Structure formats: C-alpha cells, structure tokens
Amino acid sequence: MYDALTMPIVMSSTYTFGSTDEIRDLVARKAAGGPPVRYEYGRYGNPTQTAAERKLAELDGGERALLFSSGMAAITASLLSLAAAGDHLIVIDGLYRRTREFVSQYLPRWGIDATFADADDIRAAIRPSTRAVFFEMPTNPHLRVPDAESIVALTKHHGLTTLVDATFATPVNLRPLELGVDIVIHSATKYLGGHNDLLAGAVIGSAERLAGIEEARGVFGGVAGALDAYLLLRGAKTLALRVRRQNESAQCLAEFLEHHSAVSRVHYPGLPSHPDHAVAARLMSGFGGVVSFELAGGLDAAAACIDRLEIPHIGPTFGGVESIAQQQALFVSPDPVERAASGISDGLIRYAVGIESIDDLIDDLRSALRGLPTRGGGGLSDGP
Ligand SMILES: *Cc1c(COP(=O)(O)O)cnc(C)c1O
C-alpha cells in the first residue's frame, strides 16, 4: 500500500462503495464462494489484518490464515465451526486451562461431547460421531510433545480433522501442516507478537478448511484490530531471531538446572531425560523457550526461588522478550488436595526465557537456588 515498506495501520471500520453496482457485484462474487474480494466492513477484514494474515500463512506454510482478537477467539471459533450438536471431539490431555474449560464446560451445553485422552489412547476414543482431534504441541507446563505424525496417520484413516495449537512451538520450531495436520492455531499473544503488547490469535490451513471458520469469525465477531495486526507484523520481523535465541538459552538453562541439587526434575524436550525427546528431535527444529522444573523443597522453595529471582518478572504469560517465571500450582487452587489432583506439582516453576544474556540468567538462578533444600534429603544446596 502506497509502496510503504512498513504496512500502514488502516483504522477505518467501514469501506464505501462507488455505486450500487459495486454492491451487486460484491454479493454475486460472495455467492460464488472463494476468498473475500474487497473490504466492506471491519468485522470481515481490514488491510492491515490481511497483511498480517499473509505473513502468518507464509510462516506456517499454509494457503490461508485468519487473524482473531485472541488465541481463545481462534480456538472457540474453530471448534464451534467444526462441530455441531451430536458430534464428538477428542482432545489430548494437557490443554491450556481455558481451552480445557471451553471443551469440558461449554461445548456440552451445545450438545458437543469431548473425550480427554492420552496421545496413546486416541484410537480407543474414536466413535462414529467423532469429527476432530485437537492437541497442543508442546503442552503446558510439562512440554509433552505428542507424535503428530502417528496421530495424523490415525486421523486420516478415520476421516477426522486434526487441529494443533502450536503456540509453544511457533512456526520457527514446528510446521504442523507439513506433518499432515489440517489446522494450526496460535495464541499470537505469545511468541508471534513477542513483546507483551498485543492480544491476537491465528488459524492457518487450506482455504477450504478455513472458509467455515472465517464465516464463524464474521458472526462471532472475534476479529483483531488494525493496531494489533500491525504490532503482530512488527513482531514477526524478529520472530526467527528471538525464537532461536530463546531455544539456545532455554537449553542452557535446562542443562544447568538438571545438574542442580535443589532441583528434583526438569521438563524440557531438549533434554535426553524428557520422555518425548526423541519425538521432539524428529518433528521439531528447536525445543522452545520454556523450561519447567520442580524444586525438591516443594511449594515454599518454589515461591522463595521465584521471589529471589531478579531478572524474570513474575507473571502468567510467555513468549515475550522479557523472561517470566511463574509457580503454576498457585494458579490451580489454594487447596493442596485439588492441586495434587491437577497433576501440577507444588514445587514446579515455569520459566519462560526472554532474550537477556544467558550468563546473567544463569547467575541469577544460581543465586536464587542457593540454600534451598536438596533432592534426596534435607541438606542445603550451595549450587553447582
Ligand atoms: C495463551 C494460550 C492460549 C490462549 O491465547 P490468548 O491469546 O491468551 O487468548 C491458547 N493456547 C495456548 C497454548 C496458550 O498458551
């Protein structure tokens, strides 16, 4: 537009017609199907949004992309446009909390049933009414990496749609469409935006698969604004640089933590000790910027460690240039029994690495862990 190197932010919510003939032409072309031919009203598209969608489609190697106002708007519109009353979905355990809530609390109200299964139990969960399989890759906070290739072999055989929320991976580390996945979803709020200054979601796939989801977006209304689309385009320019740096730093951090006596367990797919290391090494080109680890000293030790850390902020998100650490158990419940049932251990810290100096990050962690209880009993750690 205007030969501008940087995409302009087009704030118009309305696009006008030169004559009534233009309206007739637009309606006729819409009736014939196919992608939108011009702008009319901001809920159906905007030039800055279109530019961001083209970028997202290229990044994931898809024919088309749809931008939404948040990751949740992308997920809910996708699932609701795929399934109707009487249909059944299979989701793999370890979902983002709000996605799990949508699937277990909301979809049943509209007669859509879902089974939560382990990656290995999908076959057994398939019913005649099953429409789709949805999973995250990697999952949060244990960073499990379902074997998308074998899942796709199964879903294709049964004619099911496969959707992957690849927020943790980004297209830099994982290209699910190349593995045969039908629809990729991202919370663009995280790495794609990368600077903790926008909320957006993305859905990528073939034009055919996305047509119904685009229709749903126009009805439900979860479109991204032009300013967020612009910020996303801007963030995308450095995506590969940021993610590669975060991959490297997270690997260093994970290796440091694995040898630390105050740490009882490290969850990072780049470590050979991770249960999905082999799958991740086969399917992904990087292991991501989030490391989860458990402290031997449990709830209090994890809180002490987070409070002592000077570089990471304390907060709920990840994917930005600033490191952020969070004690997952605190978000689950104040009740120890409920926490135990959630599968998230009291001593677990999710550390989302930013782009700071890795030496500084490790020095900071070493100080924060000093004196905390060590694994295998009681002693206090001086750190390695
Ligand atoms: C954050 C997140 C979401 C939700 O995205 P929003 O942009 O916050 O709505 C969905 N899935 C995963 C894996 C996430 O981390």
Using the predicted structure, report yes or no on whether residue 273 has a pLDDT greater than 80.
yes
Domains of the chain: 20-236 (3.40.640.10), 239-377 (3.90.1150.10)
* Burial class, 169, CB count within 10 angstroms (exposed 0-12 / middle 13-18 / buried 19+): buried
Which among 55, 68, 74, 64 has a CA at the least distance from the CA of 34? Answer: 64
- In this structure, of 83-97, 221-235, 306-320, 367-381, the range with the lowest mean pLDDT score is 367-381
Q: Which of 69, 70, 72, 103 should be mutated for ligand 1, with most atoms under 8 A from CB?
A: 72
**pLDDT of res. 363:** 98
* Cα-to-centroid distance, 305 and ligand 1 (Å): 26
**pLDDT of res. 32:** 85
* C-alpha span between 213 and 210 (Å, rounded): 5
Q: Whose CA is nearest to atom 7 of ligand 1?
A: 71
- Of ligand 1's listed atoms, the one at least distance from the Cα of 188 is 7
* Cα-to-centroid distance, 137 and ligand 1 (Å): 12
From residue 139, alpha-carbon distances to 101, 168, 280, 362, 374 in Å are: 16, 7, 12, 24, 27
Using the predicted structure, report yes or no on whether residue 308 has a pLDDT greater than 70.
yes
pLDDT in tens, 60-71: 999 999 999 999
Q: What is the mean pLDDT of residues 102-115?
A: 98
Q: What is the mean pLDDT of residues 334-349?
A: 90
Q: Whose CA is nearest to atom 8 of ligand 1?
A: 71
**pLDDT of res. 381:** 59
pLDDT in tens, 146-158: 999 999 999 999 9
Which among 117, 124, 109, 71 has a CA at the least distance from the CA of 91? Answer: 117
Using the predicted structure, report yes or no on whether residue 347 has a pLDDT greater than 90.
yes
